[in-house]
Structure 1
Amino acid sequence: MGAWHSIEDWIERGKDAGAFLFILIFWQGKFPYWYSTKRRTWLTIPLPLLVPFKLLTVLYHELGHAVIGMLTIWYKELRYGVPKGGERGRIEFIMIDRYEGGLTKFGGDTEPIYSLTLPAGYVGSCLIGCWFLLTGFDAKWSKFGAITLFLLTSFAIFVCFFVKAKSGIINNWHYMLSYIYRWTMCNSEKADRSMRRHQYRKDRRNEKARYKHNNEDGPTEIDLHASQDLIIGCSLLVGTLLCLAWVWDDSMWLRFIMLFMGLLSALYAVWDIVLDGIKYAKVARSDVTYMAEEHNRRVKNHNKLNPERRQKRQRSIRFYAFIWLLTKTDMIILVFVLAYFVFTKNKVEQAVESREFLPAKLHYGPSDLEYDAKYAAGRFQDGMSKLVDTDAS
């Protein structure tokens, strides 16, 4: 079957094991090169190869929060109106930090419906990853997945512009210059001067801020805004890989790009649950934590308002984490099962079929041979039919 041929091809060329191994090795952005028996740990060098892909995955996660949150805010304002003398609900900022974490902060006097907004990030990132994974089992369908990735990234860039995304290069230009002066030109005087300019401009920008994170000395929403040039840079890198894979060998290599993107997105969603909801459940403040708190708050209110009814039970953070983990794992397994039964063409048939939709410039060799053979056989059959008809007449 087609999906089985894709899986066979994936395994034969080492893509399956290679993709898992590549993601596993470079997940933390470090490459292990030696094991220290004295420290009993691996010595590593920084090599953040997966960072652009993981940042986009985090962006899609936060985009789920932002979209569902704003929809629920608009619903509440349309139904109940804006509180008298209050401000309309809005997205204060969307943050994607260097540690591949994210945060979507809402402002105004109309809050989103958190019971829908909080799980939207997990649901969105997992569905996106599963869709990419599914489309990666067929050459023609991988084009649909690539177009979806392009549209989704464009929409994410638009949303970040909508919430006043910043330019990391412009806002940190003097900060970067200070490092260049200090470590490249060994000029500490110019380095200190650039750092003072950076701090001065930062303070001037933050005078207009309406929100400070955690405390009065914490970063403002201007500091926390997603860096637009970073998002565009990651998008351009992924887009370049997609374009190269699209035009080569009837887009057969595009399957592997989409499989890799889907696998990374799905695994990232699962790993996020494992870390925040299970391993560090007692100390982490994550979506699972807030979901558990929101549910337990609703349970408390229900039990308080209905003492005569059966009292509902509050659940721990790990309980919700395990539910989400099982849900995501089942979705990934379902994708593999669905792909096995849906895609029934082999590699050559996939290459020929992919020419029906935005064909690639360079064709897959075996598919050309099969096409030429079928064309020659058809011409030979037509010629023999005409010869027989002529002899009969």
Structure 2
Amino acid sequence: MPYIDGFPVQEHNFEVFARDAKDSLTPNSTQRTTLIVAGVYIVVIFILWHMPYLSVIIYPFKLLTVGFHEMSHALAGILTCAHIHSIELDPDEGGATRMSGGIPWITLPAGYLGSSFIGAALIACGFDTNASKIASLAMAAFFLCTLWWARKSWLPWLLILGMSGLIVLFWFVAGGVALRYFVLFVGVMSDMYVLWDVVDDTIARKVNGSDASSFAQICGCCPSQVWGVIWLIQAFAFFAAGIIIGLVAFKESASQQAEDSKHFLPVPGSSGAMQLFPTTFTSMMLCVAVTTVVMLRRW
């Protein structure tokens, strides 16, 4: 064994690291199924996206990704001391976040980058049932925040009630496995929407009212297409990171995930759920009721 300054140095550290990295990134059978499903999602979304009549199937999810986009603007505005006036979701799949103050250098790109990050996080959580349960609760918090700023429009209420119903429904199917694939679909949809929207708004054609054109005016050094390419690369990076994190972090098999799911926010009626669920369900319903009442009073 070689020595440096009197201390032994282990040989082949790089080979050990490379082998460990290969083992971490090599998908097991459950992860391969998840990757195949994600690939099918991409193909199906691409086909439905360009079909004149069938595109109505994914229309609610398009609006949901618009909500992610606008909520990212709003959160960036809060972090930069902006005052959020409202969030609007348009039936034509558009959206707008009206705010005053803040730092435009941060709030403008936050829409695409924030929704890309959300999509990547949901993709990573889509590799594991318990992680998908946590992700669905995070989406519920997102829904409440969105309604707070968009409560005067009927569309967000209808959209969020529908998505909340799907989350509750899929939570009951196959011990939460259906919820995992639902979270995975929303994550893929969010990242795909960002990729196609950036290309459509900035690279394929110049939209004067886009985030990229507004950011280009503030920056003054590059056209909107350049910023579109930069945001596109970042969106691809987030998408890849979501898959890599899912492969590395969630190596449990489907049977192991099913067993773990029985003890973490279990489905009502399953073993271990009788004591936990009433308290959890009551707390969630109370939180939703109080929030709804407050929103209606402020309306």
Q: Is the 8 A contact 1:3 1:342 kept in 2?
A: no
How far residue 253 of structure 1 moved from its aligned partner, in angstroms, is: 1.5
Matched with 1:63 is 71
Matched with 2:285 is none
Q: Which has the higher helix share?
A: 2
Please say which structure displays the higher CA radius of gyration.
1
SS at match of 1:248: helix
How many residues align? The count is: 246
How far residue 46 of structure 1 moved from its aligned partner, in angstroms, is: 5.8
How far residue 25 of structure 1 moved from its aligned partner, in angstroms, is: 2.2
Deviations 1:323-370 (A, max 9, x none): 11111101111111121111111100110011121112477xxxxxxx
Q: Is the 8 A contact 1:132 1:262 kept in 2?
A: yes
Q: Show the 5 A alignment for 1:1-393.
A: 4-10=28-34, 15-28=37-50, 31=51, 44-45=52-53, 47-73=55-81, 90-106=83-99, 111-161=101-151, 165=152, 227=153, 229-281=154-206, 283-296=207-220, 314-361=221-268
Q: Is the 8 A contact 1:139 1:254 kept in 2?
A: yes
The aligned amino acid for 1:286 is S
How far residue 45 of structure 1 moved from its aligned partner, in angstroms, is: 3.2
Q: 1:260 to 1:3 in 2, by over 3 A?
A: farther
Q: TM-score, normalised by structure 2?
A: 0.75
SS at match of 1:25: helix
How far residue 122 of structure 1 moved from its aligned partner, in angstroms, is: 1.4
Q: Distance in 2 between matches of 1:123 and 1:47?
A: 25
Q: 1:99 to 1:341 in 2, by over 3 A?
A: same
Segments of 5+ residues of structure 2 without an aligned counterpart are: 1-23, 271-299
Percent identity over the alignment is 29
How far residue 145 of structure 1 moved from its aligned partner, in angstroms, is: 0.9
How far residue 143 of structure 1 moved from its aligned partner, in angstroms, is: 0.5
How far residue 20 of structure 1 moved from its aligned partner, in angstroms, is: 2.0
Segments of 5+ residues of structure 1 without an aligned counterpart are: 32-43, 75-89, 166-226, 297-313, 364-393
Q: Is the 8 A contact 2:126 2:181 kept in 1?
A: yes
SS at match of 1:127: helix
**Aligned-pair RMSD on alpha carbons?**
2.2
The aligned amino acid for 1:360 is V
Q: Distance in 1 between matches of 2:213 and 2:115?
A: 18
Q: 1:3 to 1:52 in 2, by over 3 A?
A: farther
Deviations 1:279-304 (A, max 9, x none): 112x44210111111111xxxxxxxx
The aligned amino acid for 1:289 is S
SS at match of 2:179: helix
How far residue 92 of structure 1 moved from its aligned partner, in angstroms, is: 4.3
Matched with 2:12 is none
